[in-house]
Amino acid sequence: LLPALTPFRSRDLRRNATEPEKHMRRALRSAFPEAKFRFQVPLGPYHADFCSHAARLVIEIDGATHAHSVTSDEARTRFIEAEGYR
């Protein structure tokens, strides 16, 4: 069960996407038009930038917001991989 504010956080992250996220979104849609990538998907306590549930694939765009959070990025990666995503 997700926290009550999760949908609002997801929506806010989508509305305020960074330029690299916007670029990746366009690139994914162009390169893989048949693939279903969701944007800013809640996975446990984290939000994945891009997620394909069918392919069990998560793509994270690590920019300036992740520059000083190596430890938390590693924890996020371990969690996502434990959930069966690459």
pLDDT in tens, 15-27: 999 999 999 999 9
Above 70 in pLDDT, residue 1?
no
Q: Does the pLDDT at position 70 exceed 90?
A: no
- Provide the pLDDT confidence category of residue 7 given band limits of 50, 70 and 90: confident
Task: Dig out the tokens for 13 from the structure.
Answer: 């992250």
Answer whether residue 16 is part of any domain.
yes
Looking at the domain assignment, is residue 1 inside a domain?
no
Q: Which domain holds residue 14?
A: 6-82
Task: Report the alpha-carbon distance of residue 38 to residue 45 in Å, rounded.
Answer: 17
Among candidate residues 85, 77, 28, the one with its CA nearest the CA of residue 56: 85
Number of structural domains found in the chain: 1
Beta pairing, strands 38-43 & 57-59: unpaired
51 burial via Cβ count (<10 Å: 0-12, 13-18, 19+): buried
The mean pLDDT value for 22-38 works out to 94
Q: Give the mean model confidence (pLDDT) for residues 42-55.
A: 94
